[in-house]
Amino acid sequence: MSIKDLAKAAKQASIMLAATATEQKNKALQTIAQELRNRKEEIIAANNLDLERSKKENLAAPLLKRLKFDEEKIDGVIDGINSLIKLPDPVGETLASTELSEGLELYKISCPIGVIGVIFESRPDALVQISTLCLKSGNSTLLKGGSEALETNRILAKIIVDATAKCNIPNGWIQLLETRADVNEMLKEDQYIDLIIPRGSNDFVKYIMENSNIPVLGHADGICHVYIDKDAVIEKAIKVALDSKCQYVAVCNATETILVHEAIANAILPQLKWALETCGVEIYGCAQTQSIISVLPATDESWKTEYLDYKVSVKIVKDCVEAVDHINTYGSGHTESIQTENKDTAVYFLNHVDSGNVFWNCSTRFSDGFRYGFGAEVGISTNKIHARGPVGLDGLLIYKYIAKGDGHTVTDFSEGKRKYSHIKLNKPLRF
């Protein structure tokens, strides 16, 4: 089948899946969990093929670690599915209800988006997480995983296809793509695909955004900031800055620039430098920073750089207003944190920073669906519409308006025979 045909089949399946009962979706999720347990050995054997090939291809050790899908990780995704089963069905919720006029009622009802294309990195757990989130939310999905995980993804997709077919989930609701060329074809199918969620490198996400008419949910850059205000407690601020930068450097919510209020710079910078350098972080400082501590020079380019590494830019600012301006100019709308004991300053920062996640006295590394308590996440969005920040089940839903009448016509209203009442009903839709 061509990618167009796969996308078309996914669209057709999505219509039926949108109207599939909660019990049937949960039964299918249970069956997936069961089959993953039953077919553990097959999965591990397939994963070993991927691991062996990738070792021969000299894949870096951290990537091999992410690729590995052993018994523990399989148990992890099964636990995830069991949590997902327990969540209420997000589809069919009454979000609002209004009597428009006597006998004419309007309901705003949550429903699936339709068909979601997801492109994810090497971890095979992502395939199970994303497809089960899509199933629970009633969406069809086209998935493209990392090519290193080819064999593992194939067996996982097959297990999910088999398990859901047994439970009468419509055929075609999940489709596995395998090549970069497939992805390029997918980007053209705006007739059938409603949303693309790309996870991966900055350049890759930008490429997707520029090469498709399909809406894209996600983030390219993750240039996060920690701002240390004059009213910060030094020890606490350094602890948070260090965690934000170093707890895991290779991820989008790691901090790339530390902004320091000039009134606290002399007091904090030497300690901050010592703490960062102890963790192996290379510091690029503005001229004023360099006049206090000996560090490498920062350029205008430094403020736009997502290091994803043991490197950080440091800039001295004259106040919180300048810090906010800097963030809104150079940031990527991802996550920023202010360190201060001054409530008014914190409120200014939280209200004026134009990012999806704005924190007060805590690490930027908390910006994550699991830490937010969403269960699994489909990604982190720096979009300004639909969904922002870490995106869980909610981001896979939209709504439709359902009206029930009894032969109501607009003519009756324009002729004055009927009147609009617009009374809030606060009751769920019942047929």
Which residues in the 211-230 window bind a copy of itself by CB under 8 A? 213, 215, 217
By C-beta, is 211 or 291 nearer to a copy of itself? Answer: 211
DSSP string, 182-234: HHHHHTT-TTT--EEEE-S-HHHHHHHHHT-SS-B-S-S---EEEEE-TTS-H
176 DSSP β-pair partners: 143
Nearer of residues 159 and 358 to a copy of itself, judged by Cβ: 358
Q: Which of residues 83, 354, 419, 427 is near a copy of itself by CB under 8 A? A: 354
Q: Which residues 6+ apart lie within 8 Å of 374 measured at CB?
A: 390, 391, 392, 393, 394
Minimum distance, C-beta of residue 107 to a copy of itself, in the bound complex (Å): 9
- Under the binding rule (CB under 8 A), the answer on residue 65 touching a copy of itself is no
Q: Is 372 in the site for a copy of itself (CB under 8 A)?
A: yes
DSSP state of 326: H
Select 1 or 347, whichever has its Cβ closest to a copy of itself.
347
Query: Could you tell me if residue 280 is left (phi over 0), alpha (psi between -120 and 50 degrees) or otherwise beta?
Result: left
Figure out which of the listed residues 80, 356, 379, 392 binds a copy of itself, where binding follows CB under 8 A. 356
- Give the alpha-carbon dihedral of 88, 155, 45, 47, to 10 degrees: -80
> Could you say whether residue 426 binds a copy of itself (CB under 8 A)?
no
Shortest distance, CB of residue 233 to a copy of itself, whole angstroms?
7
Question: Can you tell me which of 164, 175, 367, 382 binds a copy of itself, judged by CB under 8 A?
Answer: 367
Residues 122, 64: Cα–Cα separation, whole Å: 9
* Interface with a copy of itself, residue 79, by CB under 8 A: no
321 binds a copy of itself (CB under 8 A): no
Taking CB under 8 A as the binding criterion, the range among 54-62, 99-107, 149-157, 223-231 that sits at the site for a copy of itself is 99-107
Residues 282-301 that bind a copy of itself (CB under 8 A): none
Residues 6+ apart with CB under 8 A from 214: 117, 187, 189, 190, 193, 194, 195, 196
250 binds a copy of itself (CB under 8 A): no
Answer for the pair 146, 60: CB distance below 8 angstroms, yes or no.
no
* Residue with smaller CB distance to a copy of itself, 33 or 338: 338
Near a copy of itself by CB under 8 A: residue from 168, 299, 398, 419: 398
216 class by beta-carbon count within 10 Å (0-12 exposed, 13-18 middle, 19+ buried): buried
403 binds a copy of itself, rule: CB under 8 A: yes
DSSP state of 431: -
Q: Indicate whether 76 belongs to the interface with a copy of itself (CB under 8 A).
A: no
Give the residue, chosen from 76, 236, 262, 304, that forms a contact with a copy of itself under the rule CB under 8 A.
236
Is the sign of the CA dihedral 197, 304, 211, 194 positive or negative? positive
Contact positions with a copy of itself (CB under 8 A) in 323-342? 324, 328
**Could you say whether residue 51 binds a copy of itself (CB under 8 A)?**
no
Nearer to a copy of itself, 173 or 348 (CB): 348
Q: State the minimum distance, in angstroms, from the CB of residue 357 to a copy of itself.
A: 5
Q: How far apart are CA 296 and CA 314, in angstroms?
A: 10
Q: For residues 154 and 386, which CB has a smaller minimum distance to a copy of itself in the complex?
A: 386
Say whether residue 171 binds a copy of itself (CB under 8 A): no
Of positions 15, 181, 287, 296, contacts a copy of itself by CB under 8 A: 15
**Measured between alpha carbons, how far is 312 from 297 in angstroms, rounded to an integer?**
11
By CB under 8 A, tell whether 373 contacts a copy of itself. yes
- Burial of 62: CB neighbours in 10 Å, binned 0-12, 13-18, 19+: exposed
Q: Are 352 and 336 in contact (CB under 8 A)?
A: no
Which residue, 44 or 353, has its beta carbon nearer to a copy of itself? 353
Nearer to a copy of itself, 156 or 216 (CB): 216
Q: Distance (Å, rounded) from C-alpha 264 to C-alpha 286?
A: 15
Question: Which residues touch 18 (CB under 8 Å, ≥6 apart)?
Answer: 91, 111, 112, 114, 138
Determine the 3-state secondary structure of 347 from DSSP: helix
For the CB of residue 228, give the shortest distance to a copy of itself in the complex, in Å.
Answer: 12
Min CB(302)–a copy of itself separation in Å: 20
